[in-house]
Amino acid sequence: MIFEMPSEFIRKLSWVLLAGRWERGELENRGRLALRRATCPMWMVQLANRLIVTFGDNVTVPQRRQLELFLSWDAPLQKRIRTWDRNGSFPKLVVPPQRMAPAADRFIESRLPELTTTSSLAAWLSISPSELDWFADQRRWERRQVNEAARHYRYLWIPKSGGMCRLLESPKPRLKAMQREILDCILAKVPVHDAAHGFCRGRSVRTYLEPHVGRDIVFSVDLRQFFPSVRVSQINAIFRTVGYPEEVARMLTGLCTNSTPENVLHSKRVPDAGVENSRMLRRYRDVHLPQGTPTSPMLANLAAFRLDRRLTGLASKFGASYTRYADDLTFSGDSDFRCALERFKILVYAIVIDQGFEIRHRKTRVMTQGQRQLVTGLVLNNRLNVPRNSFDVLKATLHNCVRFGPSSQNREAIDNFSEHLAGRISWVDSVSPARGAKLKALFNEIDWSR
């Protein structure tokens, strides 16, 4: 037994509690080992019970500051600390090293890289600890950086329909390489919800739409500012849920998020669109998922896990199907679902808002079998198909390329025009092989020297 300051004891105790999985038995066992006791003392058992009641069991562990605040205000523990302080008899705590602590067994099976310190994270990324601090940008230098050469991202405003813009934030090569490593070795191994089909290996627009083909009614919802709407706390929670200690999760979060510089936000390329524009700028100013990085699509899918789970459960209760492709949500059902649609829409909107997202009401559509059911550019009425007019335009372009040469059809001066046409043909072929075969035959007849 040695004398310690109460604040020092609280700090050490928090590190002990956070050094593993957040389960009652694990908390008690770590307390016993830290105190070097054969059995866990009763005060530690009771403290573990109060922690589980407050923060939950088998969930993402609390942040260290949250835990220290709880311990500083926990009345039974504070009473005991005052006794130890008065007698000069604080128990000596042996703080164990941090370790991976996944919140669920399915994350243990993912075999993620064992990164328990910021030094090990830096070594894994083949950079120095000081470089890690610079790229993770914990102090948000990027937000205040005026010199473009010193920034981690390049910025481009892209016009959208309705007079608004979206911001493309492209990481520079070194940061992009780190993000690619995080995606391939960590995020790609974390399972997403079954309803998510965008940016998922083995899933596509086809798998996204197939559950809705031939249904009596299709209800389509579009989310506004999908990536910027994901909060930094959600990204941090993802990395902590899969098992990374707080400091490592904080650095990984910093490498995958951004805060847009003020002069970019106030550039003349941002249109004046009133309240909607102000809301957009606020999201980009806050720490957010940047659109244009390798990691953002998968992190957005993981951040929307609870949204997908709640909407899947809601759709099941109404006898409907639900899938999501990035920011596009699609529901479909038969006559019973059609009758309950108005009530269903209200519940969907409530869940979306509760999960921190916004609905773009202008793009919300209800489509019956009596009209063309068009979602993400494909028709769903009887079978999955490309709209006739889109197919005819592409076919006419290829036919003219054969007759007059491809240079006559490349009116927009597209680089790699052959690859552009091949990509459009591949898209049609993935949906309708019969139509794709006709287009491929025309493509093969083109003389690219003309």
Element (H, E) at 359: strand 358-359
Integer-rounded Cα radius of gyration of the chain: 27
Query: Tell me, what amino acid is at 196?
Result: A
Query: In this model, does residue 273 exceed pLDDT 60?
Result: no
The gap from C-alpha 445 to its chain's centroid, in whole angstroms, comes to 44
Residue 164 backbone dihedrals phi, psi, to 5 degrees: -90, 175
Range from 20-24, 114-118, 169-173 carrying the lowest mean pLDDT: 20-24
Q: How confident is residue 249, by pLDDT bands cut at 50, 70 and 90? A: very high
Distance CA 311, CA 313 (A): 5
192 contacts: CB under 8 Å, gap ≥ 6? 200, 298, 301, 302, 305
Question: For tokens 């300051």, what's the residue?
Answer: 5
Given this model, what pLDDT does residue 276 score?
61
Which tens digits make up the pLDDT trace of 85-99?
888 888 888 888 888
Given this model, what pLDDT does residue 2 score?
42
Q: How many CB atoms lie within 10 A of CB 46?
A: 14
Distance CA 235, CA 227 (A): 11
Distance CA 293, CA 285 (A): 17
CA dihedral 374, 360, 352, 55 (to 10 degrees): 130
Given this model, what pLDDT does residue 21 score?
82
CA distances from 77 to 13, 74, 82 (A): 11, 6, 9
Which tens digits make up the pLDDT trace of 66-82?
899 999 999 999 999 99
% of the chain surpassing 90 pLDDT: 48
